[in-house]
Amino acid sequence: MGLSREERQALDEIEERLAFDDPDLDAFLSGSLPERRREVPAAVWWTIAIVAYVVFLIGVVMTVATPEDACRSTSDGRCQPPPARTTQTVHGQPLPPAAGLTGEPARSRDRGTS
């Protein structure tokens, strides 16, 4: 069912008033709004670039700082940790072995017992 001539005329007047009173709403309702693209500020791109660079540098430092013998591969391809150090040093001088850690039986401090 179509609109009568009076209804169509009233609708046209409402549309004209709307276009005059609120052009943004009229453009939105008619679908003629231009597409708005938000541009990302240059400071955001610089921040992302700096963070990426710092993460890259941390990765390089971690790779270089890892000792080469941290993982020795065996014949079957598994990782075997390096053997533990047997001597400890302080200022370049070896420490004397502690009793019971050298594989020798500990000597008793009491005289007369062995």
Cα(109)–Cα(100) distance, integer angstroms? 13
- The pTM for the full model equals 0.33
| 94: CB partners within 8 A, 6+ apart | 87, 88
Cα(58)–Cα(47) distance, integer angstroms? 17
Residue 65 has pLDDT above 80, yes or no: no
> What domain range includes position 10?
1-62
| 33: CB partners within 8 A, 6+ apart | 24, 27
Q: Structurally, how many domains does the chain consist of?
A: 1
What does the pLDDT look like over 27-55, one tens digit per residue?
777 776 566 667 888 999 999 999 999 99
Residue 86 lies in a domain: no
Quickly state the pLDDT bin for 101 (edges 50, 70, 90): low
> Which single residue is written with the structure tokens 């079957």?
76
Considering only residues 61 and 56, tell me which one the structure prediction assigns the higher pLDDT: 56
Quote the mean pLDDT of the chain.
Answer: 75
